[in-house]
A and B are shown apart, each in its own frame.
Chain A
Amino acid sequence: MGSFQSLPFDHHYRTLSKKTGFSLEQIGILHNRFKQLSLNEETLRRDDFNKVQDLKDNPIRSQIVEAFFDRRNFQKDGVGSMEEIGFEEFLTVMSYFRAPALHTTEEQREEIRRAKLRFLFNMHDTDNDGTITLEEYRHVVEELLSRSGSLGKETAKGIADAAMLEVASISVGHMAPDEFYEGITFEDFLKILKELEIETRMNIRFLNMDTTVLCK
């Protein structure tokens, strides 16, 4: 199935393409996928994501799915989550995983980095207060380690606590005895992940070839 753009969609695709940076073919393919997942309806719901088999084994499945419905990922100041999303939102979320073009300037790279990290941050900051608190972090770590069977909650807690402290030390440095560390703010998050080359790793090479027929 090559390119199939039919005229009425073309214009819509072009605006989407401008907005998200995908090429027209890629948008076409993703639209196919969207339709596949949503059983040809206009919108996707959370249950539709359960159809994807491989996703079941993913430890942070719920967060990933939730990310699709999170308004913060769609607009700058969105709050809360939606019940169902349309193709545009689907595409917007996907665009976070686009690879930066080869010739981007420093600021652009920084922008892209921030956007990606913001996405990750939002995934964990479930109560949307702008910080990842210890509870949230613990939750994350627990989920992450949930696949390995015999781990206790304390372990995950321990790890999460340790990580939290680490962030505290990096971001706040010397803390007075009365201070406490609220939670990881986005700035701290940026700081601690400074060395992780997100912009190069958090990428999916969106192919121009339609592979939807190959995967369930």
Chain B
Amino acid sequence: MPYVFYLRAIHFLMLCEILSLGYGANVGMLPKATGTSSSNLPQWSPKGDAHPDSGASTLPLFTLNYPRVQIPLEITLWVLLASFAKIGFHVYHKITVWVPESCLLISIGLIVGGIMHSVHEEPPAVLTSNMFFLYMLPLIVLDSGYFMPTRPFFENFGTVLWFAVVGTLWNSIGIGISLFAICQIEAFGVQDINLQENLLFASIISAVEPVAVLTVFEDISIHEQLYIVVFGECLFNDAVTVVLYNLFNHVAELHVVEAGDVFLGIARFFVVGLGGMLFGLLFGFVAAFTTRFTGKVREIEPLIIFLYSYLAYLIAELVAISSIMAIVTCALTMKYYVEENVSQRSCTTIRHVIKMVGSVSETLIFFFLGVVTITTDHEWNWGYILFSLLFTLLWRGLGILVLTQIINPFRTIPFNFKDQFGLAFCGLRGAVSFALAYTLPDSIGPKKLFITGTIVIIIFTVFIQGITIRPLLKLMNVRKTNRNLETINVEIHKRLMEHTVAGIEDLCGQWSHYYWKDKFMKFNNRFIRKILIRDNRPESSIVALYKKLELQNTMEILDSMTGDISATPSLISLHEERKNASKSRKVLPSDVRNMHELLSKNMYKIRQRTVSYTNKHSLPNDVTAKEILIRRHTSLRRSLRAGSFHSPHGNKASQKFLSLPVNSRLPPGRFSHAGDGDNEPEMNLSSVSSMFRHPQRSSSRTTIPLRPLGSLKVVSSSVKVVDEENEKQRGYRSSHLRSSFTSSAQQSSRSLYGSTRNISDEDGGSEHEEQESPPDPHAWVQDPQNNSDMQHPLLRRSQWPPQKPQDE
């Protein structure tokens, strides 16, 4: 049904496009986005040009003033078409699994192009050099830069830079020279292309594009190292490519190239790259500093971020240094500090908008690729183009091989051959290459040939490699990341290990990357954070993790639940629940268990964060999660459903811990801490109450640090109550556990946010009530994690109220 509707919409839209183009063509030349729109402005007459000579006699009922809105209208229609295309792809979800989105976009573009060609229309000349470089590229790059997972990135920084810079240089120069050699062969008839032009072409087609690749990588849970190398390589590769492009462009226009120029070129390369980074850092810090003062004007926070990033880009363009490096570095530095300063909402907004515009930009470019393929005149030269394709593949493979051999000794986790194959094979070309080729200045003779060549290469790599990447990687069984066992233990021990290594390094007086990291963190904590962050609280990363995990877990639980349970039952039951659940506090183990459950799930999620950033076409999980914080009622409602907060987010690890027995009877004496367990809940109550109050008032995340930790205790203590009850009632151990786990987890999260926000009586709440505060445990308890057994109605709201009687 929706599919049919979708098709009709598409048809309609395309019709609109074509008509608008037709009309536009009739009115005058298609305006370039930047330039000649002024030609249409003179037709500014309120009555339009429909009746230019009718004098002022009649008031026209209906006028059509197309030229006035032409540009924005066309742009809007194109973007809308592209968005519809994207929606359409997911109608059949199987499609996107096997065929990367880029392919689909290009196909749609091809179709549209075909239609346009058949009605003899020109593609809208929106894709000018300025348009691309000033508007689209920064958005794409900002998107990549902002969502780059920082920690793995910095750990692999050297590798990434190595592949990006040296790899690109290798590719460009290699391909350029081999093509030049080919040109010398008379048979192909391209002798007129000189070396500079070849190098230019080579630099264009060595820009690698990660979109399709990353999606596949994430789907098959590939090893993090590989993932980050591809991501990082592509990002910096863009920077290098653009620099080379400009360089060779300039050089190609010179007729004589001397040795001095070559050296200047190399020096310029470094100036440009490093200059870009410095600029980025500068702007990043300034942006972070500015957000320190935006406490009262939250609405403009996202704007500040965008403005500064864009400013970094533009100013870098102004002084002709690498703007991509500038914007990426700006985003990276900014992100860390800004996310601590801005409100939750702003944070979400920023991420959303960045993702959105980046996505749109990319989509548009692919789309245009398809359209342009059909509608331009191509200059085809079998030899040149086929050889360029061949060399592209060849040099990339060689490049990866050689570079890996050189850098492996320096890596702690060396790349094996499968990794290398993966890396080499995943060198798809895409948007950036196309745009660079398309916007070549006309003074380059073989421009058409280059465009054709680029399009061929892009289409080949995107379609053939893009589609086969997935089965190939699966077949080769490339190293996967193991997500299952990331738990709090691992986190703790990893941290311990790092400290140990850092300590030993200090002891033996050697510097290594732990040392630098340590030093940087110290410097960071002591100076930078104080300047740039508003509420500076030194935080251990474990605790920060803890905090984030809770947030995430909550969010996830809440987010994964859909549905419109009306708020009333939930609120009511909450209240009742609280009143009813006045049981004695009991042994800690269940609390602890729940806490652990919560933690483990959270920890798991945090670890996943790296990978969850990877999907270029969607936002990271925790972002959607955070939104829940804002939606009070919905959150409450949702939390009640306690549905599938596991599987959608791959929370399979939690299944592991579900088998802990309903061990609320862990002998208090033996489980050594149980003795003081009784004291703990009380102690935490005050912190809990204050914590409960807090989230309501402040939207800043930094004020949350400790409280949730305390709250966990409280939550669990009530949950254990439920545990025992259920146990009695059912004697259905394992599933109980599972449910109690989920419930407790969800409970605690809900209690953190749902109850705190909506239940006013929690404020300053009496300690006993607080104790039992965690919203309706039963609601959750009933919910089986694996949807299996349990007539657990939790999923069906109707059964909601009936749960209450079981409270006794």
Residues on A facing B (Cβ under 8 Å): 30, 33, 36-37, 49, 52-55, 57-61, 63-64, 67, 94, 97, 99, 102, 120, 123, 133-135, 138, 140-141, 144-145, 147-152, 154-155, 157-159, 161-170, 173-181, 192-198, 200-207, 211-212, 214-216
Tell me the minimal C-beta distance from B552 to chain A in angstroms: 16
Picked from B494, B671, B706, the residue with its CB within 8 Å of the CB of A196 is B494
| B511–A215 CB distance below 8 A | yes
Instruction: Report yes or no: A204 in contact with B504, Cβ–Cβ below 8 A.
Output: yes
Interface pair A148/B511, CB less than 8 Å apart: no
Q: A144-B495, A163-B488 are in contact. Are A149 and B537 (CB under 8 A)?
A: yes
A97 CB contacts on chain B under 8 angstroms: 501, 504
Question: Quick check: A157 and B673 within 8 Å, CB to CB?
Answer: yes
Contact of A162 among B515, B595, B710 (CB under 8 A): B595
Q: Chain A nearest CB: distance from B474 CB in Å?
A: 21
| Min CB gap A87→B, angstroms | 12
11 A-B contacts, Cβ less than 8 Å apart? A60-B496, A102-B414, A138-B673, A158-B709, A162-B599, A164-B596, A169-B659, A176-B661, A177-B662, A204-B505, A204-B510
Q: Which of B482, B493, B539, B657 has the most CB of A within 10 A?
A: B493
The distance from the CB of A98 to the nearest CB of chain B, in whole angstroms, is: 11
Q: Quick one: given A175-B661, A201-B497, are A64 and B667 in contact (CB under 8 Å)? A: no
Alpha-carbon gap, A47 to B595, bound state (A): 40
**A151–B538 alpha-carbon span in the complex (Å):** 10
Contacts A60-B496, A196-B497, A215-B511 aside, 20 further interface pairs with beta carbons under 8 A come to: A37-B507, A57-B518, A57-B522, A64-B500, A64-B507, A144-B499, A148-B539, A149-B537, A154-B683, A159-B542, A165-B596, A165-B657, A166-B489, A173-B659, A180-B670, A193-B489, A193-B493, A194-B485, A203-B412, A216-B509
Q: Are A155 and B706 touching (Cβ within 8 A)?
A: yes
Q: Which positions 474-516 of chain B face chain A at CB distance < 8 Å?
A: 482, 484-490, 492-497, 499-512, 515
Q: Is the CB of B497 within 8 A of A120?
A: yes
Known: A58-B502, A175-B663. Is A192-B684 also a contact (CB below 8 A)?
no
In the complex the two chains form, what is the Cα distance from A30 to B546 in whole Å? 39
> Is B543 engaged at the interface, CB distance under 8 Å to the other chain?
yes
Residues on A with beta carbons closer than 8 Å to the beta carbon of B489: 163, 166-167, 192-193
Known: A180-B667, A196-B493. A58 touches B672 (CB 8 A): no
B713 at the interface (CB under 8 A from A): yes
Chain B positions within 8 Å of A211 at CB level:
509-511
A206 smallest CB distance to B (angstroms): 7
> How distant is the Cα of A35 from the Cα of B510 in the complex, in angstroms?
15
Name the A residues within 8 Å of B509 (CB-CB). 33, 36, 211-212, 214-216
**Complexed CA–CA distance, A150 and B494 (Å):** 23
| Contacting residues, chain A, for B506 (C-beta < 8 A) | 52-55, 58, 215
Give the distance to chain A from B332, nearest Cβ to Cβ, in Å. Answer: 23
Interface presence of B585 (CB below 8 A): no
B: which residues have CB within 8 A of A? 409, 412-414, 482, 484-490, 492-497, 499-512, 515, 518, 522, 537-540, 542-543, 546, 588-589, 592-593, 595-596, 598-600, 656-657, 659-663, 665-667, 670-673, 680, 683-684, 687, 705-706, 709-710, 712-713, 734
Minimum C-beta distance from A112 to chain B (A): 13
CB-CB under 8 A from A214, the residues of chain B are: 509, 511
Assembled-state Cα–Cα distance A104/B207 (Å): 37
Are A161 and B672 in contact, with the CB atoms below 8 A?
Answer: no
Q: Which residue on chain B has the smallest CB distance to residue A135?
A: B672
B228 to chain A, nearest CB (A): 15
Decide: A169 near B657, CB < 8 A? Known: A134-B672, A159-B488, A204-B510. yes
Question: Distance in Å from the Cβ of A35 to the closest Cβ of chain B?
Answer: 12
Q: Contact: A169 with B496, CB < 8 Å?
A: no
- Residues of chain A within 8 A of B414, CB atoms compared: 102
CA distance A139 to B506 in the complex (A): 23
Whether B540 and A148, one on each chain, are in contact in the complex, defined by CB atoms closer than 8 angstroms, is: yes
* A207 contacts across to B, CB distance below 8 A: 510
CB distance from B175 to the nearest CB of A (A): 32
Name B's interface SS: helix
B482–A177 touching, CB < 8 Å:
no
A174 to B509, CA, bound (A): 47
Q: Which of A94, A102, A144, A162 has the most CB of B within 10 A?
A: A162
Contact partner of B672 (CB less than 8 A), chosen from A30, A133, A155, A176, is: A133
B494 touching A61 by the CB < 8 A rule?
no
Nearest chain A residue, comparing its CB with the CB of B490: A196
A61 and B503 contact, Cβ closer than 8 Å, known pairs A147-B540, A166-B600, A200-B413: yes
Q: Which residue of B lies closest to A133 (CB)?
A: B672
Instruction: A206 to B510: give the CA distance in the assembly, Å.
Output: 7
Within the complex, what minimum Cβ distance (angstroms) separates B544 from chain A? 8
| Bound CA–CA A33/B515 (angstroms) | 17
From known contacts A144-B495, A155-B709, A162-B599, infer whether A55 and B503 are also in contact, taking CB-CB under 8 Å. Answer: yes
Query: Are A120's CB and B656's CB within 8 A?
Result: no
CB atoms of A169 and B672 under 8 A apart: no
**Contact B663 A177, beta carbon cutoff 8 Å:** yes
Please, which residues of chain B bring their CB within 8 A of the CB of A141?
Answer: 492, 542
Contact B600 A162 (CB under 8 A): yes
Q: Which residues of A contact B538 (CB under 8 A)?
A: 147-149
A179: chain B residues within 8 A (beta carbon): 663
Most chain A CB inside 10 Å of its own CB: which residue of B484, B589, B660, B673: B660
Which among A54, A61, A212 has the greatest number of chain B C-beta atoms within 10 A? A54
CA distance A216 to B515 in the complex (A): 14
Instruction: Point out the residues of chain B lying under 8 angstroms from A201, CB to CB.
Output: 412, 494, 497, 501
The reply to whether B496 and A120 contact each other, CB–CB distance below 8 Å, is yes
CB distance from B737 to the nearest CB of A (A): 9
Q: Could you tell me the distance in whole angstroms from the C-beta of A210 to the nearest C-beta in chain B?
A: 9
Cβ-neighbour of A175 out of B660, B670, B712 (below 8 A): B660
Contact of B503 with A60 in the complex, beta carbons under 8 Å: yes
Cβ distance A121 to chain B, nearest Cβ, rounded Å: 10
With CB as the reference atom, state the residue of chain A lying closest to B677. Answer: A161
Q: Which residues of B contact A215 (CB under 8 A)?
A: 506, 509-511
Known: A148-B538, A181-B671, A212-B509. A60 touches B500 (CB 8 A): yes
In the bound complex, do residue B501 and residue A165 qualify as a contact, i.e. CB atoms below 8 Å apart?
A: no
Q: Which listed residue (A63, A102, A144, A193) contacts B490, Cβ 8 A? A: A193
Min CB–CB distance A103 → chain B (angstroms): 11
A180 to B496, CA, bound (A): 26
How many angstroms between the C-alpha atoms of A155 and B489 in the bound complex?
15
For A54, list chain B residues within 8 Å (CB): 506, 515, 518
Closest to B716 in A: A158
Which chain B residue lies CB-closest to A145?
B540
5 nearest A-B pairs in the assembled complex, by CB-CB distance: A148-B540, A162-B596, A165-B596, A215-B509, A54-B506
